[in-house]
Structure 1
C-alpha cells in the first residue's frame, strides 16, 4: 500500500468562518508566549481530553462507534493511501542525497486521481471547533499539509481577537487556545485577554480538583512538566497519536454529514504519516552509520559516539521527508564537532591541536605539500580527512541547491570554530581568566553549533542570499541560539569542566564574586539570561518582516529546543543511556496504541 507523502491534495472543504474580513495579521515583532503555563495545553472545559487515534488498514468489527459517519470517513481516508491519484512530478518532495540512496517520497500508482480528506464542516462562527481542528493538525504533525486552510482560519481568528469578539473573550479555553496558536504562528497578540493564569496557579487549581483523575489532568501535567521549548516535535506527535481516545474527545462527538472528514480521520492520517516517515528515518540513520565507519571516526578511542543523539535531534525537529538533506548535514556535522571537541578536551597534544587547526586554516593548500597531507598523527589525519571530505561534499550539494557557490562559507565556519578552540587552549595554558564578555564572545563559537546549524540552512528550502548570511539578523539568530545553548550546558557541566581545568560561565560568576556566591546561587543566576535569550530568539523566529526566510529561522529555534531537551535538568547529552529511549521511540519502535484506543485492535502494518 503506497502512502501519499503530502497526504493532501488541493481540494479541501473549509470550516465555515466568520464573515469578518481578515485583518493584516502578521506581527513585525511577535513575542513568545509568556504568563502561560506551557504554550501547548491550557485551561480546558471539563471532559475534553487531548488524546489521539492510530492508523489502520481495516475497520475492526469490535471497535466502539462514534457516529455512523466515522467508518465512512475512515474508508475515504484509507482510499487516499491506496494511491488513486497522481501528482505532477514537481509536486513530489525528494532527497538530494544521491549517495545516501534514501527515498523520501513515493509517488502513488500511475493513472490515478487524487483523493484528499477534508476539514470537518462546522456551523458559522464556531471558532472553538475551528481552532481545535488546527490544534489537532499541529499536535499530530500534519499541519504542513493544510497551510493555506490554516492561514484562512487564523486570519479570521486574529481579526476577531483585535475586535475582542465575545466568542473569544467570554470563553477562557477558546481565548487561551487562540492566543497560543496565533502567537506561535507569528501573529501579534497580547496576553491581556488571558488574565492571570500561570503555571503555578494552574498547578494549585489542579492539585485540589477532581479533574486530576481524568486524562485531561495527565495532559496538563505533561505540559507543565515539559514546556513546549523543551520537547522535540516529532516525539510529541507520536505521544499524542498513541494517547488518543476518541470516546473522550469532545470534538468527535459532534455529528458529521456523510462524506465529511472527522477529527478521528485526521488523526488516523497523522498516524499513517508518522509510520511512513519513520521508515525514512531508519534508512537515513543506516546511511549515517555507514558514513561514520567509512570515515574511521569509530576508530578514535577518545571520541563519544553521539550519532544517534544528533540524528534524534534532526528527525525530531526537521521531520518532513523532503528535509532529508538537512537532517543528514545536521547529524554529520554534529558527529564531527563532537569528535573534534573531545580531541581538544581530552586527547590531543598541543602539537596535534595546532596541526589540525593549521590544516583547516589552509584547507586546499595541504594538497600542495610534497607527499600530500602533513598530519602529525593518525588521529589528526582521520579528523581532518573526515572534515575535509564532508565539507566539500556537502558544499557541492548546498551550492547546487542554492544556485551559487557556498562551499567557502562552510569552510569559514569550521575555520572560525578551530580558531576559537585554540583560543581556549591558550587561555588554559597561560592561566588567563577571561572576563564574562571575553568568555561568552568565544564560547558562542566553541559550543560548536555553527557547523551543525548553519550549513543545514542551505537545505531548508529557500535560497539565501549572501547579503542575508552576512547580515545582522542572521548573526543575531546565531548569537541568541548559541548563547542559550552554551549557558544551559554550563549550568549542567560546570563540575566536569572544573575537573578538566576549564572555566565556564558558572565558575566565572563564582570567581568574580570573590567567594560571596555559591555554585548553586550562580546556577540560579544563569536562569535569567537563559530565559531572556530564549524569548528573544523566539521573537526573531516568529516575526514576519525578516530578511532570513521563516524555514531557515525555524532551524535556530529547533536547535534551541534541542539544547533544552538534552540539558534541561541534567547533562543528558553526555549520558549514553538517558535519551536512548527517545531514539528508539522516534526511529525504531512502531506506534504503541493503548488498549482503550479506538483503533487499537487493528492491523496497520500494510500502511507502510
Structure 2
C-alpha cells in the first residue's frame, strides 16, 4: 500500500501523472476498498494512513476525517513507533493530510494540523529532521500549504530535488529500482523542457498580439505578456492546453487594461461610451468612439473575443460568443459602479459591495472563457447551472477577499471601497477584527470549493472543476504574504522565468534524456 501511494504521489509531484491516469485510478480504487475494509496495512501505519487519506480525498473518494481520529492528538504521535523514531516523514504526511479540509467542521483535521505543524517547526529549529527527509522540504510545506501552491513551480522544484536512490520513496524497505527512478526523472525532465518550448512560442505570439491590437500604445495600461502567460502556464501546464492558456493570457491583459481605464485615466464620458460599446457588441458601429484609446481598447476586446469564440465553437460544437459578450458586459458594469462609489465618496453596505466586487475581480472573462478551450464540452445548461455558479462564486470570493486583504491600505488612501474597512465599521473600527472575519470567509469558501472540485461526479467535467481550484491556489500564492504580487511583480518575474524560460538546474550527468522514451513503461511497471 505504501509503495503504491508513494508512487502515485511521486508521479503527481513530478508533473507526469496524466501519462498514467488509468493505472493511478486502478490503484486508488484498490486502496479505497482496503480503506473501507479497515485494512491494517493502511490503518495501523501513520504515514500510509495519512497519505491514503490525502490522495483518496483529493481524487474524489468519499473519505471522512474520522479515518484519522486515532492520530488526532499529539500524544498519539509520541506514543507511536514513529514518535520514538522522531519520524519526520510521518509528521509531514499527517500535516499535509490535515490540510485537505473540505467540511465546515472537521476538528480532527484542525487538531492534527495544529500539533503536527508545531512539532515540525520544533524539529527544524532543533535540527532533528529525520535523515530520510530534506529539511528544505519541511520548510517549503510549512511555508506553502497545498492551497497556496502552483503546479508548474512545484513540478520544477521536485524535479530539481529528485535524486534517484534517495528519492521521495522514503521508506528504504519499499524503494523502487534506481533504474526506474532514473526513467521517471527523465520523463519528467523531458516533459518540462518540452512544455517550456511551447510556452516560449506562446509568449512570442502574445507579444505579437499586443502590437497587433495596439495595446502597447496605451500608456496607462499594464500590459505584461510574460506575467499573464506565467499565471496561465502555472495553472494549466499541459502542452495541449495551449489555446486555453493563450485565451487566459489575452483576457488577463485586456481586463487589466480595462481596469486601468476605469481606475486611472477614464473620464466619465469615456467610461460610459466604453460600456455602451460592450453592451451593443456587434452593433457597436452605431455608437461611435469617444476617444482613440476607447476605440483601441474596445476593438482589442471585440476582435479577440470573436477570435477565441471561433476556436471555442470547434471544441464546444456551439456558438459561445453570446456568453462571452455577457461576461464582458457584467464586468464593465461592475467596474462602473465601483468608479461611481470612488467619485462620489459613497460607502455601500457590505452586501452591496460584494454583489459588485465579485464580478469586478474579472474571473468571468478570464476563467469562464478559457474553460471553453480546456477540452470537455460545457453545454449552456451546465454553464448556467447551480454547480458551475457555485464553483465560480466561491472562486470569486476567495479571489476578491484575498485581494482586499492585500490592498486595503493602498485602496483606502485612493478613496476606493474595500471589504476590510467596510467590515471594520461594523466592528467598532477594529481592522484586526475585520481581517479575522475576512480570512474566515475565505477559509470557508475555500473548503466549499475544494469539496465541489474533489468529488468524483458532477455536472461540470472534472478537468474544468480542477481549473477553478487551480485559480484559488494561484490567488493564495500570489497573496500569501499579504502583498499584491501583481502590482509588486518582483516575485512574479522570478517565478515566470522559472516556468517559461529558465532550463532546469540538474547536476551534470544526473540523467540521460534519451531514456525518456522508455519512461512511461517504467512508470507503469512501478505501479503494477
With normalisation by structure 2, the TM-score equals 0.85
Cα displacement string for residues 108-134 of structure 1 (whole angstroms, at most 9, x for unaligned residues): xxxxxxxxxxxxxxxxxxx11111111
**Match for residue 510 of structure 2?**
600
> Greater CA deviation, 194-203 or 456-465?
194-203
Deviation at 1:525, TM superposition (A): 2.7
Alignment partners' CA distance in 1, 2:342 and 2:156: 45
**Larger-gyration structure (1/2):** 1
Cα displacement string for residues 327-376 of structure 1 (whole angstroms, at most 9, x for unaligned residues): 01111000000010111111111111111011001111122x3xxx6111
Deviation at 1:522, TM superposition (A): 2.2
Partner of 1:451, secondary structure, is helix
Aligned length: 471
Q: Does 1:571 align with 2:484?
A: yes
Deviation at 1:193, TM superposition (A): 3.4
Q: Does 1:542 align with 2:454?
A: yes
Taking a change above 3 Å as real, the CA distance of residues 355 and 212 of structure 1, as seen in their structure-2 partners, is: farther
Q: In the alignment, which of 330, 333, 340 is matched to residue 416 of structure 1?
A: 330
Structure with more relative contact order (C-alpha pairs < 8 Å, separation 6 or more)? 1
Mapping of 1:151-550 within 5 angstroms?
Answer: 151-194=25-68, 195-196=71-72, 197-198=112-113, 199-208=117-126, 210-211=128-129, 215-249=133-167, 251=169, 262-367=180-285, 369=286, 374-515=288-429, 517=430, 519-550=431-462
Cα displacement string for residues 250-277 of structure 1 (whole angstroms, at most 9, x for unaligned residues): 749679999x961331122111111111
Q: Does 1:149 align with 2:23?
A: yes
Deviation at 1:180, TM superposition (A): 1.1
Q: Is the CA contact (8 Å cut-off) linking 1:206 and 1:217 kept in structure 2? A: yes
Taking a change above 3 Å as real, the CA distance of residues 489 and 605 of structure 1, as seen in their structure-2 partners, is: farther
Deviation at 1:379, TM superposition (A): 1.1
Deviation at 1:487, TM superposition (A): 0.3
Q: Is the CA contact (8 Å cut-off) linking 2:330 and 2:359 kept in structure 1? A: yes
Q: Is the CA contact (8 Å cut-off) linking 2:187 and 2:516 kept in structure 1? A: no
Taking a change above 3 Å as real, the CA distance of residues 479 and 467 of structure 1, as seen in their structure-2 partners, is: same
**Match for residue 9 of structure 2?**
135
Alignment partners' CA distance in 2, 1:605 and 1:154: 28
Mapping of 1:107-118 within 5 angstroms?
Answer: none
**Match for residue 105 of structure 2?**
none
Structure 1: 5+ residue stretches without partners: 1-126
Q: Is the CA contact (8 Å cut-off) linking 1:325 and 1:459 kept in structure 2? A: yes
**Match for residue 591 of structure 1?**
504
Partner of 2:234, secondary structure, is helix
Q: Is the CA contact (8 Å cut-off) linking 1:206 and 1:212 kept in structure 2? A: no
Structure 2: 5+ residue stretches without partners: 73-111, 518-528
Q: CA RMSD in A?
A: 2.3
Taking a change above 3 Å as real, the CA distance of residues 176 and 474 of structure 1, as seen in their structure-2 partners, is: same
Deviation at 1:606, TM superposition (A): 11
Q: Is the CA contact (8 Å cut-off) linking 1:306 and 1:335 kept in structure 2? A: yes
Cα displacement string for residues 284-311 of structure 1 (whole angstroms, at most 9, x for unaligned residues): 1110111011111111111123322221
> Greater CA deviation, 186-195 or 309-318?
186-195
Deviation at 1:247, TM superposition (A): 3.2
Deviation at 1:524, TM superposition (A): 2.9
Deviation at 1:479, TM superposition (A): 0.6
Alignment partners' CA distance in 2, 1:552 and 1:602: 36
Alignment partners' CA distance in 2, 1:590 and 1:148: 30
Alignment partners' CA distance in 1, 2:378 and 2:511: 48
Q: Does 1:580 align with 2:490?
A: no
Alignment partners' CA distance in 1, 2:513 and 2:27: 35
> Greater CA deviation, 410-419 or 218-227?
218-227
Alignment partners' CA distance in 1, 2:495 and 2:130: 26
**Match for residue 474 of structure 2?**
562
Q: Is the CA contact (8 Å cut-off) linking 2:338 and 2:417 kept in structure 1? A: no
With normalisation by structure 1, the TM-score equals 0.74
Partner of 1:318, secondary structure, is coil
Partner of 1:572, secondary structure, is coil
Q: Which has the higher helix share?
A: 2
Cα displacement string for residues 545-588 of structure 1 (whole angstroms, at most 9, x for unaligned residues): 31111111111111111111211111111013221111111111
Taking a change above 3 Å as real, the CA distance of residues 210 and 256 of structure 1, as seen in their structure-2 partners, is: closer
Cα displacement string for residues 446-482 of structure 1 (whole angstroms, at most 9, x for unaligned residues): 0111100001111111111111111111111111001
Alignment partners' CA distance in 2, 1:138 and 1:606: 17
Partner of 1:414, secondary structure, is helix
